Structure 1
Amino acid sequence: MRRGSVAVVGGSIAGSAFAGAAARLGAERVVVLERSPGRLEDRGLGICTHDDRFAELVDAGHLAPDTRRHRLTVRSWVTREPDGPGDGPHGRGRLLWAQPFPFHSHHWAVLWQSLRESAPEVVEYRLGTTVTAVGNDGGGGAWTEEADGVRTPYDLVIGADGYRSVVRAAVCPQAVPEYAGYVCWRGSFDSALLAELPGGAGVWPEEECITVCYRGGQVVIYRIPGLTPGTTQVNWVFYAPTPDWLRLDGPTAVAAGALTGRQLDGMREFAERQLPPYWAGLIALTPPERTLLQPVYDLATPHRTAGRLLIGGDAATVVRPHNTSGAVKALQDAHAFEQAGRRLGAGSWAPVLAAYDRERTAAGRELVGMGRTLGGAQVTSAPDWSAMDEPAMAAWWREQLTGGGFGGHALGRTG
C-alpha cells in the first residue's frame, strides 16, 4: 500500500512541493532532509511564472491564490548604441522591441514560504541534514545515509536536491550537468536604492521587465516582491563570458558574499563597457553580499526513477534560465507525481513512479532543448543588435519558439 514513510532530499521549492504531494497520496510520515542549517528565507533570487501557468497551479491546489507576486506586462529589449546617442536622456538605451510579457515575478523565499506554510501536518523539515548517499534496499524500499554514516530506511526516497544531486547519482550516475560556455552573475537589492540613479526609479516603470542586449550576452532586470509586504526589490541576471579566474572542476557556483572585491570590480567594469549607463549604474548599486555567480549548465536525464528512488526539479532536469520556467518546472514535476498516484488509486509506489517517469522525462528533454535554443539565439550566437528593429526582433523571437516550452508547458501536458 502507498503508506509508510517518504524521505525528500532537499527542502527548497521542488522538495516542499513533492513533500506535500507525497503526504496527500497517503504517506504516513514525510521527512524533508535539507542540508542548509540556516533560514531558507535568506535566498533572495527572483523567479517568474507565466500568468497561465500560475493560474493552473492555483487551480490544481499547489499555490495559494494570494501568493505574493509582482505583475509584469512588458519586456523591453534595449541595446547600447556604439557612440551612445541613442541611449536617451536617462541612459536607458535604444528600444529594440516592447514585447508583451504576461508574467508575474516572485521572491524565491516568499514563494517557498507559501509552500512551506501549506505543508500537511505529517511533513517534518529537518534542517542541517546532509545526505551523502541513497540506494534501494532490494526488498521494495530505499534508504538514505547521512554524514555520520547512519542509514535510515524509507518506503520511497525523492531527490529534490538540485543540480548537484546525490539522488540523481544513484538513479542515473551517467547523467551530469553540461557547461553551456557562459555564466550568469545575479544580484538583488531594495528598490529604494534606485533613487540614487540619475532620474531615480521613475525612469523604469514598475511592470516593465528589461532585457539589455550586447554582443555576447544580455542582462534581464525586473522587480520582485520584497520579504516585507508592500516592498519591492530589484532582481537582475547578467549573462556574460566566463571570467578568467573561474575554475570549473565540476558543477559549481560562487555564493553571495563569497566574491572578492577584485572579482566584483571586474564585473562592474564589464557592465560599464557593455550596458547603457542607467542599467550599468543599477548593477553597481548591488551590495557585495547580495551578488553571486552561477555558471550556466543544462542536463536532461534519460530516466527519473530507479526502484524506490525518484528525482524531480533541478535534480532531474537542469534548464538554462532563459526559459523562465524553473519554478513552474519543479511544481509541475510534483503535480505529475501526485496526479499519477490519484489516477492509479490505492496500491504500491511502483506504478506511480513509472507513470511519473514516462510523463516528465519527455517534458524535461523538451525544456532543455528550448533552453539551448534560447541560449544560442540570445547569447552565444546572438544577432547584431545594432541592426535590429521591432519587426526583425519579432521575427527573430518566433524562430526560437518552434520547440515550445517558454514559460513552461501547460499543466498536465505530456510529451
Structure 2
Amino acid sequence: MVELSGRESRLIWRQALPAAFTTWGLLWQGIRAGVPDDVYHGGTTVTTVRADVEGGELGFADGSTERFDLLIGADGYQSRLRRLVNPGSRLNYAGYVLWRGTCDENLLTDPVLREVTRRGAVTACFDGGHAILYHIPSIPGFEHGATPGGRLLNWGVYGGLPAWFRLEGEAWIPPGRVTDDLARHLLRLVDERLSTGWRELVRKTGTAGMAIQPIFDVTTPTYVSGRVMLMGDAGTVARPHTGAGAVKALRDALALERIAGEHGTWASALAAYDAERCQEGNATVELGRRIGRAQVEDTPRWADMTQADFQRWVQEAVANRSRYLYPELGDD
C-alpha cells in the first residue's frame, strides 16, 4: 500500500498477497474447455423464462422452447433470473466508478512502480479514492496485447464521474467507447492525485485501452425460488474491493456440487445451498460497502498515517473478516 500525493510518495504498508491475477478471457477459455460441444449452445438468446415447483421452461429467440429440471441463473450482475427469484432486488449505484485500463507492461517506465509491480500489486491512496496496478497474463489477439513473451498491466482508479455525465442504466462503458471528454476528466484526476509514473501510464494507455465500470452492489433475501437458483453475480453483487467476483462464483459452483451429493432431493439440496451461499453472498456485499467507505467515500488522512494507524484502519474496514485479503489482521 503506497500513499501518493502529487509527486510525493511513501510506503506505508507491505504484505503478502494471497491472490492470483488472471483475465476473464483466459478464465472463460478454461471453463469452456470442460464443456462438451454438443451441450454448449453459444449465441442462443433466451427470451422467456417460466418456472414452477417441478422445473422450468426457457423460450428462445427462434420461437422454440425447452423444459429443464433445474434452471441456474449465472447470468451476471444484470441477471434476468435474479428478477424472477427476487422481483424487488435492484442494483444500487455506489456513487463512484472504477476507471480501468489494460496495456503492454512496457508502457510502464517508472522504475519504482516497475519494481513493485514485478513482485506483486501496488495500491496508491489519495483523498477520495485510490488506484491499483498489477500484471495479468497476455491475451492472444488483444489489440493492446503484450509483446511476445510479455505480460499486460491492469490499472484502475476509483473516483467520481464528471458532473455533466449521466449514467445510462446499469451498463459499463467498454474499451473503445470512452470519449475524449471522459478521458480528460480522468487525466485531470490523475494529474492532481497521483505521481508522474501513474500519469504517464494512463496517458500512454489511451482511450482505446480504457473502460469505465460503475460500482453497483445488491443483496438478496434468497438464492432460490422453486427450481430456479442463482449463482455468482446473478445472486449478489459485491463491490470489486472484495476481489470476490470470479471467486464467489467458483465457490458457489463448488458448494452446489458438494451439497447435491449430500442430499437426496432437489428441495433439500436447494434449501441447503440457499442457506449457505445466500448468507455468504450478502456478507461479502456488506464487506464491500465497508471497504468502499474506507477507501473511497470517507478516506483517512494518508499523509499522517503510520503503520500502526494503517493496521487499525484495515481492521475496522474489514471487521476482522478473513474472506478479504487481510486475514493476518483478523481474529479468526
Q: Report if TM-score (shorter chain) is over 0.5.
A: yes
Offset, 1:398 = 1.6
Offset, 1:242 = 2.8
With over 3 angstroms needed to count, the CA separation of the structure-2 counterparts of 1:396 and 1:407, relative to structure 1, is closer
- 1:96 aligned onto 2:12: yes
Query: Residue 209 of structure 1 is aligned with which of 102, 115, 121?
Result: 121
Match of 1:78 in 2: 3
Match runs of 1:24-63 below 5 Å:
none
Q: Which AA in structure 2 matches 1:378?
A: Q
Offset, 1:277 = 1.1
Query: Residue 116 of structure 1 is aligned with which of 29, 32, 37?
Result: 32
- Output the CA distance in 2 between the equivalents of 1:211 and 1:159: 34
Offset, 1:203 = 4.6
Offset, 1:296 = 0.4
What secondary structure is seen at the aligned counterpart in 2 of 1:129?
coil
With over 3 angstroms needed to count, the CA separation of the structure-2 counterparts of 1:335 and 1:202, relative to structure 1, is closer
With over 3 angstroms needed to count, the CA separation of the structure-2 counterparts of 1:388 and 1:322, relative to structure 1, is same
With over 3 angstroms needed to count, the CA separation of the structure-2 counterparts of 1:289 and 1:202, relative to structure 1, is closer
Greater per-residue helix proportion = 2
Match of 1:54 in 2: none
Deviations 1:68-122 (A, max 9, x none): xxxxxxxx322225xx4xx3xxxxx222222332322112211221222233x37
Backbone CA RMSD of aligned residues: 2.2
- 1:321 aligned onto 2:235: no
Query: Residue 184 of structure 1 is aligned with which of 74, 88, 98?
Result: 98
- 1:142 aligned onto 2:56: yes
- 1:247 aligned onto 2:166: yes
With over 3 angstroms needed to count, the CA separation of the structure-2 counterparts of 1:255 and 1:122, relative to structure 1, is closer
- Output the CA distance in 2 between the equivalents of 1:310 and 1:266: 41
Query: Residue 312 of structure 1 is aligned with which of 215, 231, 255?
Result: 231
Offset, 1:149 = 4.7
**Aligned pairs, number:** 319
Question: Is the CA contact (8 Å cut-off) linking 1:80 and 1:94 kept in structure 2?
Answer: no
Greater per-residue strand proportion = 1
Q: Which AA in structure 1 matches 2:95?
A: G
- Output the CA distance in 2 between the equivalents of 1:123 and 1:311: 24
Deviations 1:216-249 (A, max 9, x none): 1111111111125943110012110133243235
Offset, 1:251 = 1.9
Offset, 1:199 = 4.2
- Output the CA distance in 2 between the equivalents of 1:202 and 1:182: 28
- Output the CA distance in 2 between the equivalents of 1:271 and 1:392: 26
Q: Which runs of 5+ in 1 are unaligned?
A: 1-75, 88-92, 410-415
- Output the CA distance in 1 between the equivalents of 2:74 and 2:326: 18
Match of 2:43 in 1: 128
Match of 1:385 in 2: 302
What secondary structure is seen at the aligned counterpart in 1 of 2:158?
strand
Q: TM-score, normalised by structure 1?
A: 0.72
Deviations 1:364-404 (A, max 9, x none): 11101110110011110110111112221122112222251
- 1:280 aligned onto 2:199: yes
What secondary structure is seen at the aligned counterpart in 1 of 2:21?
strand
- Output the CA distance in 1 between the equivalents of 2:157 and 2:48: 34
Comparing 96-105 with 201-210, greater Cα deviation is found at 201-210
- Output the CA distance in 1 between the equivalents of 2:312 and 2:87: 41
Question: Is the CA contact (8 Å cut-off) linking 1:366 and 1:403 kept in structure 2?
Answer: no
Question: Is the CA contact (8 Å cut-off) linking 1:189 and 1:286 kept in structure 2?
Answer: yes
Question: Is the CA contact (8 Å cut-off) linking 1:312 and 1:334 kept in structure 2?
Answer: yes
